[in-house]
């Protein structure tokens, strides 16, 4: 039976026969002995295979090139070399899949992250993407663990929807391919409006509204799925397809919502530190020497809570000159958010009670009639990592907001029904999963923390 590299490296049981399968990272040596570094993805570390060059014909060894897939049988022994405690003394080497060194795109020397984006089908075989993908897995698993342990139910919200959850109009339209003789409109073009079997539908921008449906029946729920935004933004923080975690809780007010968001983020960071120490150490050493310190800092410190209005005061009296002016009523730019988090407070910030006009229609109106019970969690190096709010539970007030913001009532009759029948205070938030992975891995570009990034003009794989 095959053992994983991770299990073998941790093994205390030496001088036994083992079988390992994986991909060759490097091979070096001389005419007496060859050293082959094998990685099988179970860990960032390679297993060293030592092959007596006289025992293996040059023909076989030639095929044991960087990128090839091999199966190695041999004895697990203590290693004399530095960097590893055990190694395999090979008795059999089988090349399962060759890789031509002349054309294999990944070479020993290392490649830029930009280049690796062009070979998204091979980049998981690098140390960096191995580490990122294992961390992504650990964090996704931790999300479910956290909520399951606390009595939340996982609900599956739809990807094809008939409504715009954010009322922001950043949606991808769903169409079906026209048949042989598609009905044409007056201009003689295929009438895509009539598609999805006669109903106009979009890819969801958020599972929140359906999450509210579930919360008003099951109490505490969360969704965790892909969401889509048709924004043409080429930034290091935006994707057209990203994953979002959205808890929604009946009987939670804004304070409770903030408490949950802070506890949840700390839990996720702690989980990554506990479960992926080797991957994080690698990323720390390779890309960002302050990564581990920053992660620990998040766990150890309370987030700073303040209102939008207070933040505007701070920004107005700041010595720093901003590119965009700060005025009560306008949305904060990322330079403003960064100033608050990285310069002024030097810790994560939860900003609340934004002006109603710059937030979504469903947020609960404050008593002043000008602000809403919104909360954004801002993180160092990331900016907004969470957006959430207490929801408007009053039917008339919600209808009023929808009218003011031109959100069509007929699309959301079912959402309004939640306020007609057994309404209750409730709150929730959305955590952008890739922004979380970005923060935890210390990577600089969101395109490098999702296996197949979707951004304008990029959908090759
Ligand atoms: O602030 P947003 O738009 O909020 C919502 O969608 C609410 N319905 C959430 C809720 O209350 N249930 O998005 C939430 C989070 C942002 O804070 C950000 O982390 C992430 O989703 N996000 C993106 N991540 C990557 N690429 C994009 N284009 C993103 N847009 C939002
Ligand atoms: Mg937001």
Alpha carbon of 242 to ligand 1 centroid (Å)? 9
Q: Could you tell me the mean pLDDT of each successive run of 10 residues in the chain, 461 residues long?
A: 96 96 96 96 97 91 96 96 91 97 89 94 97 98 98 98 87 79 76 64 96 98 97 88 98 98 98 98 97 97 98 95 95 95 97 97 97 98 97 98 95 96 98 98 97 84 71
Q: What is the pLDDT of residue 59?
A: 86
Same domain flag for 444 and 335:
yes
Could you tell me whether strands 241-250 and 86-97 are parallel, antiparallel, or unpaired per DSSP bridges? unpaired
Residue whose CA lies nearest to ligand 1 atom number 6: 206
Q: Is 179 part of a structural domain of the chain?
A: no
Same domain flag for 161 and 12:
no
In whole angstroms, what separates CA 78 from the centre of its chain?
A: 39
Same domain flag for 328 and 414:
yes
Same domain flag for 287 and 395:
yes
Same domain flag for 129 and 19:
no
Q: Is 411 part of a structural domain of the chain?
A: yes
What string of DSSP letters covers 360-388? Answer: -TTBPBPTTSSBB-EEEEEETTTEEEEEE
Q: Is 87 part of a structural domain of the chain?
A: yes
Name every protein residue with a CB atom under 6 angstroms from any ligand 1 atom.
Answer: 165-166, 206, 208, 229, 231, 238-239, 242, 244, 246, 384-389, 428-430, 432, 434-435
Same domain flag for 135 and 100:
no
Q: Is 276 part of a structural domain of the chain?
A: yes
The CATH code of the domain that includes 91 is 2.40.50.140
Same domain flag for 24 and 137:
no
Ligand number, closest to the Cα atom of 435: 1
Look up the ipTM and state it: 0.99
Alpha carbon of 435 to ligand 2 centroid (Å)? 12
Q: Is 458 part of a structural domain of the chain?
A: no
Residues sharing a CB contact under 8 Å with residue 358, sequence separation 6 or more, in sequence order? 329, 330, 331
Residue with tokens 């003009």: 457
Q: Is 461 part of a structural domain of the chain?
A: no
Q: What is the pLDDT of residue 168?
A: 83
The CATH code of the domain that includes 262 is 3.30.930.10
Q: Specify whether the CB–CB gap between 283 and 439 falls below 8 A.
A: no
Residue whose CA lies nearest to ligand 1 atom number 26: 238
Same domain flag for 288 and 356:
yes
Q: What is the pLDDT of residue 193?
A: 54
The 8 Å CB, 24+ separation contacts for 259-263 are 260/429, 261/350, 261/375, 261/377, 261/386, 261/388, 261/429, 261/431, 262/302, 262/303, 262/348, 262/350, 262/377
Same domain flag for 92 and 149:
no
Q: Is 439 part of a structural domain of the chain?
A: yes
Q: What is the pLDDT of residue 175?
A: 80
Domain boundary pick from 46, 75, 104 = 104
Domain that holds residue 18: 5-104
Residues sharing a CB contact under 8 Å with residue 278, sequence separation 6 or more, in sequence order? 43, 44, 45
Alpha carbon of 354 to ligand 2 centroid (Å)? 11
Q: What is the pLDDT of residue 185?
A: 77
**Number of independent structural domains in the chain:** 2
Same domain flag for 76 and 135:
no
Same domain flag for 132 and 97:
no
Query: Which atom number of ligand 1 is nearest to the Cα of residue 377?
Result: 17
Same domain flag for 269 and 348:
yes
Residue whose CA lies nearest to ligand 1 atom number 27: 238
Q: Is 80 part of a structural domain of the chain?
A: yes
């Amino acid at each position: 039976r095959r053992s994983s590299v991770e299990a073998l490296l941790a093994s205390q049981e030496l001088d036994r026969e083992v079988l390992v399968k994986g991909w060759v990272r490097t091979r070096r040596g001389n005419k007496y002995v060859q050293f082959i570094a094998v990685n099988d993805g179970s860990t960032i570390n390679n297993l060293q295979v030592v092959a007596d060059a006289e025992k293996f014909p040059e023909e076989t060894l030639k095929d044991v090139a960087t990128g090839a897939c091999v199966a190695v049988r041999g004895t697990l022994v203590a290693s004399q070399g530095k960097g590893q405690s055990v190694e395999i003394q090979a008795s059999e080497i089988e090349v399962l899949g060759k890789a031509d060194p002349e054309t294999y795109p990944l070479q020993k020397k290392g490649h830029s992250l930009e280049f690796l984006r062009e070979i998204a089908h091979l980049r998981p075989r690098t140390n960096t993407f191995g580490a990122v993908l294992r961390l992504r897995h650990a964090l996704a698993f931790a999300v479910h663990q956290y909520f399951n342990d606390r009595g939340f139910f996982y609900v599956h919200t739809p990807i094809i929807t008939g409504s715009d959850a954010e009322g922001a109009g950043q949606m991808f339209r769903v169409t079906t391919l026209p048949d042989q003789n598609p009905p044409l409109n007056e201009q003689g073009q295929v009438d895509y409006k009539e598609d999805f079997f006669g109903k106009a539908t979009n890819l969801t921008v958020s599972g929140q509204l359906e999450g509210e449906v579930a919360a008003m029946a099951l109490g505490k729920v969360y969704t965790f799925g892909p969401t889509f935004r048709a924004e043409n933004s080429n930034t290091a923080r935006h994707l057209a397809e990203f994953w979002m975690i959205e808890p929604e809780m009946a009987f939670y007010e804004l304070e409770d919502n903030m408490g949950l968001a802070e506890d949840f983020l700390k839990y996720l960071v702690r989980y990554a530190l506990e479960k992926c120490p080797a991957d994080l150490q690698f990323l720390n050493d390779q890309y960002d020497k302050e990564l581990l310190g920053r992660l620990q800092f998040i766990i150890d410190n309370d987030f700073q809570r303040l209102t939008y209005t207070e933040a505007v005061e701070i920004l107005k009296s700041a010595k720093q000159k901003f590119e965009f002016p700060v005025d009560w009523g306008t949305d904060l730019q990322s330079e403003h958010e960064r100033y608050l988090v990285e310069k002024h407070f030097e810790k994560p910030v939860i900003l609340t009670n934004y002006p109603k006009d710059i937030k979504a229609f469903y947020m609960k109106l404050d008593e002043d009639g000008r602000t809403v019970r919104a909360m954004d969690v801002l993180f160092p190096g990331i900016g907004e990592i969470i957006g959430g709010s207490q929801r408007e539970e009053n039917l008339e007030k919600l209808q009023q907001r929808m009218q003011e913001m031109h959100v069509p009532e007929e699309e959301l009759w079912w959402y309004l029904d939640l306020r007609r029948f057994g309404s209750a205070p409730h709150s929730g938030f959305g955590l952008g999963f890739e922004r979380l992975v970005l923060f935890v891995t210390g990577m600089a570009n969101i395109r490098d923390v999702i296996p197949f990034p979707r951004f304008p003009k990029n959908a090759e794989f």
